[in-house]
Amino acid sequence: MSTTFELNGQSVTLDTDPDMALLWAIREKAGLTGTKFGCGIAQCGACTVHIDNVPSRACSIPVSAVEGAKVTTIEGLSGKVAQAVQTSWQNLNVVQCGYCQSGQIMSAVALLSATPKPTDTDIDEAMQGNICRCATYVRIRAAIHDAAKSI
């Protein structure tokens, strides 16, 4: 079955098994590997993408569900908020292994787009679906506050 949607600003039609998770369609069919697999059951956030600007776990959404939707992955991030987030992440040396960070950044961009000056509680709420096994949480929090200053 084929599904047509907008992926990072471009219209794409992917021919897949209809119940294939969006994650695998993006990674293996569209060849965009920035979105990661960590759990497959919406527990870790490594696969976070934006679907119509809402942060969503691509591992737990069938590709057929995004027909006609606008999907943004880490590769397609752009704009002031995204840039501020990535710059703060780099300036504060947030990453360790880095594997969770595409998902962390996608969640952080969504948070700051909706709440430009988040409190620690806002951060806890928006980010607790993203596991970082390297436990870079101290810096994730600091980088979100840092990015908020420059937006």
CA distance 16 to 129: 28
Q: Which of residues 77-136 bind another protein (CB under 8 A)?
A: 86, 89-91, 93-102, 105, 123-124, 127-128, 130-136
Alpha helices by DSSP H, 1-151: 22-24, 80-91, 101-114, 120-127, 137-150
Cβ of 134: how many Cβ atoms within 10 Å? Answer: 14
Nearer to ligand FES, 77 or 95 (CB): 95
> In a 10 Å sphere around its CB, with 0-12 CB exposed, 13-18 middle and 19+ buried, how is residue 128 labelled?
exposed
If one asks whether residue 24 binds another protein (CB under 8 A), the answer comes out as: yes
If one asks whether residue 133 binds ligand FES (CB under 6 A), the answer comes out as: yes
Angle 130-38-7 from CA coordinates, rounded to 5°: 80
Q: Name the minimum Å distance from CB 123 to another protein.
A: 7
If one asks whether residue 57 binds ligand FES (CB under 6 A), the answer comes out as: yes
**Looking at 5-13, 81-89, 90-98, 119-127, which segment touches ligand FES (CB under 6 A)?**
90-98
Which partner in another protein, ligand FES, none is near 75 (CB below 5 to 8 A by kind)? another protein
Q: Which of residues 32-71 bind another protein (CB under 8 A)?
A: 32-41, 43-44, 46
If one asks whether residue 136 binds ligand FES (CB under 6 A), the answer comes out as: yes
